[in-house]
Amino acid sequence: MGWRRLRLLFLMLTTSALAQSPTPADSEPTVQSLLLRIQQMEKRINELEDHERKQMASAAETSATGVQPGAVTAKPLSETSEHAEMSETRETERRFPSLQIRGFGDVDFSATDQKGSISGFNLGQLVLHLASPLSEKVSYFGEVSFTAQPSSYELSVERTIIRYDYNDFFKLSFGKYHTPIGYWNAAFHHGAWLQTTIARPEMIKFGGTFIPTHFVGLEAEGNIPSGGLGLGYNVGLGNGRSSFLSKAGDSGDSNDNRAWVANVYARPPRFYGFQVGASVYRDKLTPKPGQNFGEWITAADVVWTKERPEFLAEFANVHHRDEFTSITWDSQAFYIQLAYRLPWQQSKWKPYYRFEHIHKPETDPTLADVLDLSGSTLGVRYDITTYAAFKGEYRNSRHGVGEPRVNGAFFQTAFTF
């Protein structure tokens, strides 16, 4: 009880005062008066504790029987019971809608030996996740980001999804979401704190064209009855890419052809954090009027996110076909990432290494901004708190055939709130 703690604190203070006070004969009356004062305070505390116990017992009786014990305490006990009941109802009842907001941010520093490159500090994305249940089976999720540009900030709607959960085997959603190709794009969303490294692999970087990171349309997902295999699926139908191939068709499709995507994966429960999956994506690209290219993307992934160790690996092949000339191009990309959460110092340190590779035919007109890549990243993540992390990386990479390798140091403070 609060009074017991008060009593102990008071006794400690007075005992300390008595122990430190002088004890000559002329000070005896003062010591005796202090002892008398302590006895009076103890008596008063005992009375208050007895009164508190009686109130608690009366409240318990009222809650159990619904009968108020007396007219003197009827009103306070009624109010206490009512407040307790309202508080309990708030905790157990789900309210619709019930908006929850989560935020992410990061501050970065970079320096490279590449001539003409921009170095120094920069602000990463400020991201807000918005979630709200609309009923027992219908929910909404949204994600918006603010990205620093040379002269302003760019506001983007990254995801906006309304989903109906029929059961664990079938969930249907409509809106804009991250394309379920491979593992990383569907697991690590905007917000650098979510991922181990500072940056995403280049094959699935935001704003890139190698793999479409966003998709507008409808998606069905769920588990597949499979016993210990832990099978699941994602199937989507939507607009696909816009005429700007790095963008999704937010305002409509750029042609009369719908894109579709399918992903199947296995997550055996007996192997915690393990997943193996395969994806296929089909679309028709129209970067300019009169230009039409068929696009097939096939991908595979193997991951183990147990932290000790963490292993991520993905491979994708992008096949394009000019529908006028029937010329075809195939581009490949993959990455392998290894990390390990060290056991000492409260498991705050997590070193990692990633190798990534991209090969693209120089004549493929649809991936003109994609360069061949061979690069390594060596870094460490330090979790300052549960909600903030510091990361440092050294990168050695070569973009383009015959180009010199570039060395760089990168640092980031990422957080969630």
Whether omega for the bond prior to residue 150 falls within 30 degrees of 0, making it cis, is no
Torsional sign, CA 296, 302, 304, 309: negative
Question: Would you say 257 and 238 are in contact if contact means Cβ atoms under 8 Å apart?
Answer: no
pLDDT (0 to 100) of residue 15? 46
Provide the whole-model pTM: 0.76
| CATH 2.40.160.10 domain residues, the chain | 160-416
Q: Give the start-end residues of each E strand in 267-404.
A: 274-285, 293-305, 310-322, 328-339, 349-359, 373-385, 388-399
pLDDT (0 to 100) of residue 253? 87
Pick the CATH number of 160-416 from 3.40.50.150, 2.40.160.10, 3.40.50.300, 2.40.110.10: 2.40.160.10
pLDDT (0 to 100) of residue 95? 86
Give the 3-state DSSP-derived string for 11-44, with helices as H, strands as E and coil as C.
HHHHHHHHHHCCCCHHHHHHHHHHHHHHHHHHHH
pLDDT (0 to 100) of residue 93? 61
Residue 59: exposure state from Cβ atoms within 10 A (0-12, 13-18, ≥19): middle
**Alpha-helix residue ranges (DSSP H) falling in 121-263:** 184-187
The one-digit pLDDT tens for each residue of the chain (417 residues) are 444 444 544 454 444 444 444 444 443 445 555 556 666 666 666 666 666 565 555 554 444 444 444 433 333 433 444 444 444 445 446 789 999 999 999 999 999 998 888 889 999 999 999 999 999 999 999 999 999 888 888 999 999 999 999 999 999 999 999 999 999 999 999 999 999 999 999 999 999 999 999 999 999 999 999 999 999 999 999 998 999 999 998 988 888 899 999 999 999 999 999 999 999 999 999 998 889 999 999 999 999 998 999 999 999 999 999 999 999 999 999 999 999 999 999 999 999 999 999 999 999 999 988 999 999 999 999 999 999 999 999 999 999 988 999 999 999 999 999
Task: Collapse the DSSP code of 58 into the 3-class scheme (helix H, G, I; strand E, B; otherwise coil) and give the result.
Answer: helix
Question: Would you say 220 and 235 are in contact if contact means Cβ atoms under 8 Å apart?
Answer: yes
pLDDT (0 to 100) of residue 165? 97
